[in-house]
Amino acid sequence: MRAVIFDLDGTLIDSAPDIAASVNRVLAADGLAPHSLEAIRGMVGDGAKRLLERAFAAHEVQAEPRHLAAFLADYNANPVVETVAYAGITPVLAGLREAGHLLGVCTNKPIGPAQKILDELGLAPFFGAVVGGDSTPYKKPDPRHLAATLAELEVGEAVMIGDHANDILAATGLGLPGIFVSWGYGEAESSFTAHTPGELPELIARLGG
């Protein structure tokens, strides 16, 4: 039975409001106008450094290391103010685990806030491995980031589920199937797409899970 590996932001959780709040506080400290929530959603997916680079580039300003440090400090202190698990995610996780799947998280979010969010939302017990964007030298779409998650679970066969092209590319790089979820922040091309969490178990089963 395949393991099931999930992305975090935009897949398991809607974290954009808290991410946007932290980004906008960093911008405000430099006298820059805030970005809309929708604008921030479109910047998420490649890790905190790229997020800050995009946020400042939209103001035609170059992000500096101090901006990333300020964001990480702010976000680490405020990761679960408005962040919630998507409706339907918890019963899907429970069902997959009950069916015998090993579950993991592979996210470009730093491991500290990732673990804190999973703990506070009650999702942590479902996962045998959580690998963050600073857990290895690699980030998705580098398949070695996903490979590190599989190694922690001690499995070779898995399906990757995520809302971003990086998730599907990481899976493809390991010769694994990927399922794109349409309720998140990004875009991707995949042969398998879920429009609600409830569709995931059937898709996983179709992939040999």
Note whether 3-14+83-206 and 16-77 share their fold. Answer: no
Please tell me the predicted confidence (pLDDT) of residue 209. Answer: 61
Task: Tell me which of 3.40.50.1000, 1.10.3720.10, 3.40.1010.10, 2.40.340.10 is the CATH number of domain 3-14+83-206.
Answer: 3.40.50.1000
Please tell me the predicted confidence (pLDDT) of residue 208. Answer: 76
Please tell me the predicted confidence (pLDDT) of residue 46. Answer: 87
Query: Do the beta carbons of residue 54 and residue 43 sit within 8 Å?
Result: yes
Residue 119: what residue type? Answer: D
Please tell me the predicted confidence (pLDDT) of residue 4. Answer: 98
Radius of gyration of the chain (CA): 17
Please tell me the predicted confidence (pLDDT) of residue 1. Answer: 72
pLDDT tens sequence for the chain (209 residues): 789 999 999 999 999 999 999 999 999 999 999 999 999 999 998 889 999 999 999 999 999 999 999 999 999 999 999 999 999 999 999 999 999 999 999 999 999 999 999 999 999 999 999 999 999 999 999 999 999 999 999 999 999 999 999 999 999 999 999 999 999 999 888 889 999 999 999 999 998 76
Distance, in Å, from the CA atom of 132 to the CA atom of 115, rounded to the nearest integer, reads: 9
Query: Do the beta carbons of residue 52 and residue 26 sit within 8 Å?
Result: yes
Distance, in Å, from the CA atom of 191 to the CA atom of 168, rounded to the nearest integer, reads: 10
What is the third-level CATH fold of 16-77?
A: DNA polymerase; domain 1 (1.10.150)
Known catalytic residue: 7? yes
Strand order in the sheet with 129-131: 129-131, 103-106, 3-6, 158-162, 178-181, 193-194
